[in-house]
Amino acid sequence: MSRRALSFKGGVHPDCSKDMTQDLKIRKAEIPSIIEIPLVQHIGAPAHSLVNIGDQVKAGQKIGACAGHISANIHSSVSGKVLAVEPRLQAAGMIPTVVIENDGKDEWDPGIKENEYIENLTAVEIIEIIKEAGVVGMGGATFPTHVKLNPPKEHKIDRLIINGAECEPYLTSDYRFMVEMPEHVVNGTKALMKALGVKKADIGIEDNKPEAIRAVQGACSKENDIEVAVLKTKYPQGGEKQLIKAVTGREVPSGQLPSAVGCVVINAGTASAIYKAVNYGVPLIERVVTVTGKGVKNPGNLLVRIGTPFREVIEQCGGLVEGCTKIISGGPMMGIAQYSADISVIKGTSGILALVEENTALTKEYPCIKCARCIDACPIGLMPLKIVQGVQNANLDEAIEANIMDCIECGGCTFICPAKRPLLQYIRIGKIKVRSRKS
């Protein structure tokens, strides 16, 4: 770690606030009696339900099938009886959901089998396994991984980057996985390299995570084509374009995907899920969730079955403290505040953040003072004040001209604004309006 840490232009330095959970080992969460599994846990078309009320299902059984090019399979995380297939309240609103009564037997689908000859699998076979397993980006974006592994034919991929930055404050789920099971990340990386046909992979980890760096370096010490890229601790270091710039020096053009510059970026947790799928045939039915913040009594990192209600997970961490005022799905920068704890843990749930009033008190918004701090902080090189000006004046053309759709919604502009303007929220509203106009 003596080499200078890699970085990108812009960004901010919020308090990491990871000390509450970074030293706590992953523990298995208890499986609840009722599981609610949304059929939308990914970007793209909702999965098509394969089950009906009264059906008996096994853990790992496919209960939702891809319903388009950009979609993902959904699997049951328990064995039991289907009680309902209906819209239920989830983090993204009312979502078609499969409700299953857990029979407590945890019987697995007999079709799940270990792959005995991993080295003989072709790239096409690996991608098909990943598709069948319903693997999506677990850093929060939830883009179907099998689609990302099939870039446009005109884009020649020569670099795989594994995102172990976990720059979002409070969250430590990827960190603990890299510390405790680094070989899962490395073996998943090897499978991804074969799927993409690339000869070089980097695992990017911020320099405030020395234990993870050492663990992953040890796990890939015999792999000549995989190395750890030590990154400067700065938010949003884990953004795809920022990670590519830091590791390779390449810049993804406006409106283009990472594949346009020969790169594919995969989250570290996703790489470990791919290892389980390719080696053991296990679909994505559980994930590590960081439960943290001053609003929860006993923070921790829990391995949680998909479909477990937030309320159950929080209770297994001692419950909420008196005075908890907000629950966020994800972290404080990019997460979404929830008005109910009855929503489900999904594939993209990296954290459950419970905050008290001192962290959530509303501040008065003042007029823009034209200080340009938001411009300096923007990792994409946008002009947030210009975009927001267009949104507030109902001038979408102005916002579009300022490249509103290139915003990665990291929240750095809101964090740095001395006038306390909720710039990210204005931008999100503007993007919704732009999409509505196009449709």
**DSSP letters for 57-104:** E-BT-EEEE--SSS---EE-SS-EEEEEEEEEEETTEEEEEEEEEE-S
Closest CA to 267 of 155, 178, 335: 178
Q: Please list, in sequence order, all residues whose beta carbon lies within 8 angstroms of the beta carbon of residue 438, skipping any fewer than 6 positions away.
A: none
In this predicted model, what pLDDT tens digit does every residue of 34-57 receive, in sequence order? Answer: 999 999 999 999 999 999 999 999
d(CA 177, CA 182): 7
301 CB-near residues (< 8 Å, 6+ apart): 21, 24, 25, 26, 27, 172, 173, 176, 288, 289, 290, 291
CB 311 within 8 A of CB 324: no
Render each residue's pLDDT in the chain as its tens digit; 439 residues.
445 688 899 999 999 999 999 999 999 999 999 999 999 999 999 999 999 999 999 999 999 999 989 999 999 999 999 999 999 999 888 999 999 999 999 999 999 999 878 889 999 999 999 999 999 999 888 999 999 999 999 999 999 999 999 999 999 999 999 999 999 999 999 999 999 999 999 999 999 999 999 999 999 999 999 999 999 999 999 999 999 999 999 999 988 999 999 999 999 999 999 999 999 999 999 999 999 999 999 999 999 999 999 999 999 999 999 999 999 999 999 999 998 999 999 999 999 999 998 766 567 889 999 999 999 999 999 999 999 999 999 999 999 999 999 999 999 999 999 999 999 999 999 999 999 886 6
Q: How far apart are CA 187 and CA 351, in angstroms?
A: 25
- The residue length of the chain stands at 439
Contacts within 8 Å (CB) and 24+ apart, 144-148: 144/42, 144/43, 144/44, 144/66, 144/70, 144/71, 144/72, 145/266, 145/270, 145/274, 147/44, 147/69, 147/70, 148/264, 148/266
Phi, psi at residue 274, to the nearest 5°?
-65, -40
Question: 267 near 248, Cβ under 8 Å?
Answer: no
Dihedral sign (CA 278, 98, 286, 349): positive
Q: What is the DSSP string of 298-357?
A: S-EEEEEETT-BHHHHHHTTT-BPTTEEEEEES-TTT-EEES-S-SBP-TT--EEEEEEH
Torsion of CA 74, 80, 81, 84, to 10 degrees: -40
Would you say 90 and 137 are in contact if contact means Cβ atoms under 8 Å apart?
Answer: no
Answer for the pair 292, 326: CB distance below 8 angstroms, yes or no.
no
Comparing CA positions, the residue from 126, 401, 108, 431 lying closest to residue 275 is: 126
Query: Closest Cα to residue 168, out of 411, 339, 341?
Result: 411
Q: Which of 352, 322, 323 is nearest to 337 (CA)?
A: 352
First-to-last alpha carbon distance for the chain, in angstroms, is 49
Peptide bond before residue 236 is cis, with ω within 30 degrees of 0? yes
How does pLDDT run across 132-144, given as a tens digit for each residue? 999 999 988 899 9
CA 338 to CA 320: how far, in whole Å?
Answer: 14
Spatial separation of the C-alpha atoms in residues 179 and 26, rounded to whole Å: 10
Phi, psi (deg, nearest 5) at residue 51: -125, 160
Report pTM: 0.94
Q: Rounded to an integer, what distance in angstroms lies between the CA atom of residue 201 and that of residue 378?
A: 27
DSSP designation for 48 = E
Task: At 113, list the tokens.
Answer: 């089998």
Q: What is the distance between the alpha carbons of residues 53 and 63, in angstroms, rounded to a whole number?
A: 12
Task: Find the radius of gyration of the CA atoms of the chain.
Answer: 21
CATH number assigned to the domain with residue range 27-111+283-359, chosen from the 4 options 3.40.50.970, 3.10.20.600, 3.40.30.10, 3.40.50.720: 3.10.20.600
Cβ-proximal residues to 151 (8 Å cutoff; 6+ apart), any chain: 157, 257, 259, 264
Right CATH for 118-280 from 3.20.20.10, 3.60.21.10, 3.40.50.11540, 3.40.50.2000 = 3.40.50.11540
Domain ranges within the chain, ordered by starting residue: 27-111+283-359, 118-280, 373-438
